[in-house]
A = this chain, B = another copy of it.
Amino acid sequence: MLKINKNYQKIKKNYIFTEISNKKDKYLKENQKAKIIDLGIGDVTLPLGKNLVKVMEKALAEQAHRSTFKGYPPENGYDFLKDQIIKYYKRRNVELNRKDVFVSNGACCDVTNILDLFNKNTTVIANPTYPAYFDSNFLQGNSIILESASVQNDFVLNPKNLNKKSYLIYLCSPNNPTGTVFSKNQLKQWVDFALKTKSIIIFDCAYESFIDDVKLPHFIYEIPGAKNCAVEIASFSKMAGFTNLRCSWTVVPTELKIGNQSLNNMWERRQCTKFNGVPYLVQKGAEYALSEEGFKECKKNIDYYKKNLKMLLKNLKEVGIETYSSQHTPYVWFKCPNKYTSWEFFDILLTQCQIVGIPGVGFGSAGEGFFRFSAFGRRKDIIEACKRLKKAHL
């Protein structure tokens, strides 16, 4: 018989979204007039910017004419987009070259597919964090160390409890769901640890455009030595509203090696064998999003979501709920009141406020007793949600 990857049998089904949707459906059936406000899913709701759409329309029109039609995109991105990304890093004094940059169709793909380059290793993952890190490492058969980032350590992951071994280390900053951002010093501890232990950091900065404080690092390469120990994965999804269009980039510095093996060469080989690039019109849109003018357009939407965030934080505090998010994230992370478990509070919110959020325990066991709201909703829904929270007896 053919041998299958048995980890698929062993992995737990992720019931959380099914469970949420079942509970929601049941409630709606019993309360047909209820107007539920969904603050659950972390997906943008504002439409693409007008000028961005114009740029994409033009790119689409090029595909309708013989003289401008383009076939296969370069597997790792058009130079025009790579150059724009390189410029984007220069603002933070990080120097990259075209060979370092790989355009891809989503951070989710790259944080998981990067494991193709490795054999079985031990992976360090924050608890709680984005579930795809755990799932993909589990499916790959890696050993996993879950490092708790909770109230005790201000939700900031720290390498001090780890043995001095070589690890794959997933860091997400600003972290989903806790909203924690590493300071330069905190991130430096990780870079130093990785250099010392010959570990590789996979740095997910999908939410870096939400960082508002110039002193906080957006990219891991702002830390000296990081090019020798870190891969960085970034995305247009939340920055420019590209969750549907699918575009991201990954930096694998040419400096990055394990023994004498260049990870850059390996990733290039992987992508050229198993991936065929991102559409021209999407890359033209992405190029525009990073331009000075385009970024202003994106920033308007980011600011809109951050105003939502502030409203939610303020109102939760006013009803006596302890919140932990920074201002540099689209997610509100808070403690369930009265020592409720995550799911208990889910039910209370649904029945008392007709609000749906995500139980913190869905991001890892250390998220138990916490809860996540997304600030990606529409303003009127956020305002209404705040009103309901204030009226309710939580």
Chain A residues proximal to chain B, CB less than 8 Å = 1-6, 8-9, 11, 41, 43-48, 50, 53, 56-57, 60-61, 63-66, 68-73, 105-106, 108-109, 112-113, 116-121, 132, 135-136, 139, 166-168, 198-200, 243-246, 258-259, 261, 265-266, 269-270, 273-280, 282, 378
Q: Are A279 and B113 in contact (CB under 8 A)?
A: no
Contacts of A243 in B (CB 8 A): 71-72
Q: Are B276 and A246 in contact (CB under 8 A)?
A: yes
Tell me what chain A mostly uses at the interface: helix, strand, loop, or mixed.
loop
Q: Lowest 6 A-B CB distances belong to which pairs?
A: A43-B71, A3-B119, A47-B69, A112-B274, A53-B64, A106-B276
Measured in the bound complex, the distance between the Cα atoms of B69 and A273 in whole Å is: 34
Q: Are B244 and A4 in contact (CB under 8 A)?
A: no
Measured in the bound complex, the distance between the Cα atoms of B63 and A68 in whole Å is: 24
Measured in the bound complex, the distance between the Cα atoms of B217 and A296 in whole Å is: 54
Q: Are B69 and A48 in contact (CB under 8 A)?
A: yes
Given A53-B60, A56-B60, A69-B45: A5 and B118 interface contact (C-beta under 8 Å):
yes
Given A118-B3, A244-B72: A112 and B273 interface contact (C-beta under 8 Å):
yes
Q: Are A246 and B109 in contact (CB under 8 A)?
A: no
In the assembled complex, how far is the CB of residue A181 from the closest CB belonging to chain B, in whole angstroms? 24
Contacts of A198 in B (CB 8 A): 1-2
User: Which listed residue, B5, B48, B68, B200, touches A2 by the CB 8 Å rule?
Assistant: B200
Q: Are A166 and B2 in contact (CB under 8 A)?
A: yes
12 contacts between A and B (CB under 8 A): A2-B168, A3-B119, A8-B270, A45-B66, A46-B69, A57-B60, A63-B244, A71-B243, A73-B244, A108-B275, A245-B279, A279-B282
In the assembled complex, how far is the CB of residue A40 from the closest CB belonging to chain B, in whole angstroms? 12
Contacts of A112 in B (CB 8 A): 273-274
Contacts of A273 in B (CB 8 A): 112, 132, 135-136, 139
In the assembled complex, how far is the CB of residue A236 from the closest CB belonging to chain B, in whole angstroms? 12
Measured in the bound complex, the distance between the Cα atoms of B275 and A62 in whole Å is: 28
